[in-house]
Amino acid sequence: MARRHRTCRRAAAERLLAGLQERLPNQAILVGARPACWSGDWATRPWPAKEWRPARLRGAPSPTLHGCAQRGDEPGMRVVVTGGAGFIGSHLVDALVERGDQVLVVDDLSTGRRENVNPLAVFRRLDVRSPEAAAAIREWSPEVLCHHAAMASVSRSVREPLLDADVNVVGGLRMLEVARETGARFIFASTGGALYGDAAVLPTPETEPAWPVSPYGVAKLALEHYLYCYRAQHGLGYLALRYANVYGPRQDPHGEAGVVAIFCRRLLSGEQPVINGDGLQTRDYVFVGDVVRANLAAIESAACGHVNIGTGRQCDVNTLLRLVAERVGVEAVEVHGPPRPGDQRTSALDASRARSLLGWEPLVPLEQGLEETVAWFRDHPS
């Protein structure tokens, strides 16, 4: 099994190298031993990703697909996406399937939805903390493991820090062990918005210290440290993507996270949204299609470490309500409630490192992304 897996990995690496050499004929591509994280001269810059748009309905043709290169006759990669029935994970699964990859989705459906899962992906309803999930992934023998499964509520992490650590740290460690055993590259859905706290520098680069003010942020940072440890001890290939506040179609409007989705659902239903606190807290809102493109670039890259995935633009919640209301076609009325425990005041991410290492930058401005998102919620009223 190990020999077969190494052969598959070698073939995948040769395909990737050939593709890079074809697309970048004038750029030297270094292979073999690589230094520790962030020796930037060895990192090759992949070809630019196209713009991505979600299909409005499952199975409906999307004019630009997901912006991913079609593999043609080339065999696809074997990829696992944990949390692949959720908001971001399901869009990533769609993009991987569309480009010809073989995808296993592992999700316990605690927050994800079965109907989000692409019918061409293999689905297993399993908790990432369980031995059964690890066994299913070992049997799949992936080349890449994209870890999006998480307990993603900041406020719930404040109320239940032990549960948060169990899901986000212990569950993540179990996935790391599987990646170590199978030799899979590990792409981790981390956080930038909750990691840096109220940073002194905005937009915040990765060089700023990480002082999370919520258990959720602490857990994400802890798993990043485990990734670095596994790189040093076992040679694990990985990249942690520190997301800003991701929004877009399929976001859950019923939980405590996802303010864009909450505003869309309530305004379209004729209900009054309630803003937590004074509404002057700022966030960096990045469209889910741009986040999918970052994941695809991370999969194809040899880069190791952590990168911010955001726009660098701050938008306060009061302004966000007005922008959503304009696209719904109703008047924005601000109603304020108490602030949420664990919320920070400001957040915006500097994505310069993602641009230099991955060739990634956000393509969808907030106003355009909100148009897409409102249209999707209008088409999906339930």
Residues designated catalytic: 216
Angle subtended at Cα 318 by Cα 313 and Cα 324, rounded to the nearest 5 degrees: 80
SS in 3 state form for the chain? Answer: CHHHHHHHHHHHHHHHHHHHHHHCCCCCCCCCCCCCCCCHHHCCCCCCCCCCCCCCCCCCCCCCCCCCCCCCCCCCCEEEEECCCCHHHHHHHHHHHHCCCEEEEECCCCCCCHHHCCCCCEEECCCCCCHHHHHHHHHHCCCEEEECCCCCCHHHHHHCHHHHHHHHHHHHHHHHHHHHHHCCEEEEEEECCCCCCCCCCCCECCCCCCCCCCHHHHHHHHHHHHHHHHHHHHCCCEEEEEECEEECCCCCCCCCCCHHHHHHHHHHCCCCCCEECCCCCEECEEEHHHHHHHHHHHHHCCCCEEEEECCCCCEEHHHHHHHHHHHHCCCCCCCEECCCCCCCCCCCECCHHHHHHHCCCCCCCHHHHHHHHHHHHHHCCC
Task: Please give the Cα distance from 110 to 22 (Å, whole number).
Answer: 43
Task: Please give the Cα distance from 165 to 157 (Å, whole number).
Answer: 8
Q: In the structure encoding, which two tokens stand for residue 41, read together?
A: 């001269």
ω into 362 cis (within 30 of 0): no
